[in-house]
Structure 1
Amino acid sequence: MVKTARTTFRILETIKAKDEVTLTELTNEFTLSKSSIHNYLKTLEHDGYVVREGNTYRVGLRLLDLGGYARYKEPIYQSAKEEVTKLAEETGEMTNLLVEEHGRGIYLHRANGEQAVTSDSYIGHRVYLHNTALGQAILAHLPNERVDEIIDRHGLPKTTENTITDRDELFDQLERVREEGVAFDDEARLVGLRCVAKPIVNKEGEIEGAISISGPTSRFQDEHYQTVLPKKLESAANVIELNINYT
């Protein structure tokens, strides 16, 4: 590990977590001297990665350039964004595209229909894989050894009363997802929110990502939740997989 590089990114992540910080507040988060933290901030400010406003610092938009480029270079983003947007227009709900990287889920694209509810996620937001329908759809199509590695690294933290926190229970759930071809999230990450997800698999049988439809428990009920929405996802997933495999 390059210690200075790691410290730089930890500083950026700390600023992001707190929205904005002062030099003193940031110094209290690290074992480095105030002058050292100041030097990091001045360098990041000079290169456009943080912005200073008075006595506070916030994340700069130059990071958006890196993130936007990374998303643009993801083949599944180019193949799926239009279908995910159409799905939101058709259902009126919130739709999502998620991929796995370093054992976490990353939102690459999302769209809101007319009835869509708001949530805490956004483009680039990283989430655990075990407590979302999107994540479970991806985990179900990874080798068991890889799933074990992800659990060992990130654990199975509990975010609601419905979160699966037991390894064996999660593997049983992933088997059901493989058999049914669809994953359901019944308030496993956010209270009041349900989600239905389908995996996106290439012609080699490798998982590329997953798409989903999310909405409030009051609307995601019975046949609509269990049958209607999965069929809409299946249709969209079929188009995306064709785009990936033959474009």
Structure 2
Amino acid sequence: MIENRSGSRRAAKPVETTVLAVERALQAIEMLSGAADGLSLAEISRELIINKAIASRLLETLEHAGYVWRDNIAQRYHLTYRVSNLGLRQLQQSGLLGQCTSLLEDLAERTGELVRLSVVERGEKITWIYAVVGTRRTLRIDPNFNFEVSIHSHATGKAWLMTLKPERVAELLERDGMAALTRHTNVDTKVLRKELDAASRRGFATTYEENEIGVGAVAAPIMAPRLSGGTECVGVISVAAPTNRMTRAEIENCGPLAAEVANRLALMWPLDERAPVRLQRPA
């Protein structure tokens, strides 16, 4: 069994279909990506459910390859920038950011708020990849205040869910859960379903202090044409603002602007980003 940082356990794949050392190395990289203060050898060993000797050899290999560095004073491991550099290189090769940047910057200036672009990764998760903040405001939201997209409480997550079939939404919610992140977070699936239906009709989703106190947001899905026909949500555009500057109604007024940009991005989305591929669930 393999346990991830969220505490859920999953069975390891059979040895004949995977190289366990590689799988564990990738899991270690994912763990370190979410650890701002790094992780100790004991913590990594415990998370991967392996002994310290194996964990030490694994980390030495990653360090030699340039993906990990060790703080010899604190005895903690951290990721290097090599991983992020690979991600940026992939984005540059796809041409995605080059085509989107001007539209995102224009939206940030029009609203004066934080605008973010996220992409749907292989139909399994949604990830922020770019953020820009309007220059007309002195009080701003940190674009890196949270790297995790909670699909039931973030406007970005809701904008993705509103494009999916109910049974797929149920699968994702069962997988990720519906934790109460603030006193305003909705944890009722029936209420969320009604909210998603309403969001689908108007073209954008909203959140108001459901994920973070003092923050409201709107988000619109990027529905790009599929190579096989039809459309698919490939990403989301969101606008977030402090609630002490914008009321719920004022933030929702940014929804049509986000939807307009999302529609324009859908027309220029790189072809190689449109092929829908679903990850298979672990056995």
TM exceeding 0.5: yes
For the pair 1:105 / 2:130, whether they are aligned, the reply is no
Alignment partner, residue 118 of structure 1: 142
Cα 1:200–1:15 shift into 2, 3 Å: closer
| Alpha-carbon separation, structure 2, partners of 1:213 and 1:78 | 20
| Alpha-carbon separation, structure 2, partners of 1:117 and 1:142 | 29
Structure 1 regions of 5+ residues with no counterpart? none
2:204–2:256 contact (8 Å) kept in structure 1? no
Alignment partner, residue 83 of structure 1: 103
Cα 1:25–1:129 shift into 2, 3 Å: closer
| Alpha-carbon separation, structure 1, partners of 2:130 and 2:246 | 22
Amino acid at match of 1:60: T
For the pair 1:13 / 2:39, whether they are aligned, the reply is no
1:197–1:213 contact (8 Å) kept in structure 2? yes
SS, match of residue 186 in structure 2: coil
For the pair 1:4 / 2:21, whether they are aligned, the reply is yes
Cα 1:226–1:158 shift into 2, 3 Å: same
183, 195, 212: which one pairs with 2:238? 212
Offset from partner CA, 1:138-182 (integer Å, 9 cap, x none): 111112222122122222222112222222221111101011112
Cα 1:37–1:221 shift into 2, 3 Å: same
Amino acid at match of 2:39: V
Alignment partner, residue 268 of structure 2: 243
170, 183, 191: which one pairs with 1:169? 191
Amino acid at match of 1:47: A
Alignment partner, residue 52 of structure 2: 34
Amino acid at match of 1:194: G
Alignment partner, residue 192 of structure 1: 214
The offset of 1:77, in angstroms, is 4.1
What percentage of aligned pairs have identical amino acids?
27
Alignment partner, residue 180 of structure 1: 202
SS, match of residue 32 in structure 1: coil
Amino acid at match of 2:113: E
| Alpha-carbon separation, structure 2, partners of 1:135 and 1:46 | 37
More divergent stretch after superposition (190-199 vs 46-55): 46-55
Equivalent residue pairs, number: 243
For the pair 1:63 / 2:83, whether they are aligned, the reply is yes
Amino acid at match of 1:138: W
TM-score relative to the length of structure 2: 0.76
The offset of 1:90, in angstroms, is 2.5
More divergent stretch after superposition (77-86 vs 91-100): 77-86
TM-score relative to the length of structure 1: 0.86
Structure 2 regions of 5+ residues with no counterpart? 1-12, 272-283
SS, match of residue 21 in structure 1: coil
Which structure has more helix as a fraction of its residues? 1
| Alpha-carbon separation, structure 2, partners of 1:231 and 1:29 | 44
More divergent stretch after superposition (71-80 vs 8-17): 71-80
The offset of 1:59, in angstroms, is 0.5
RMSD of aligned Cα (Å): 2.5
The offset of 1:34, in angstroms, is 2.1
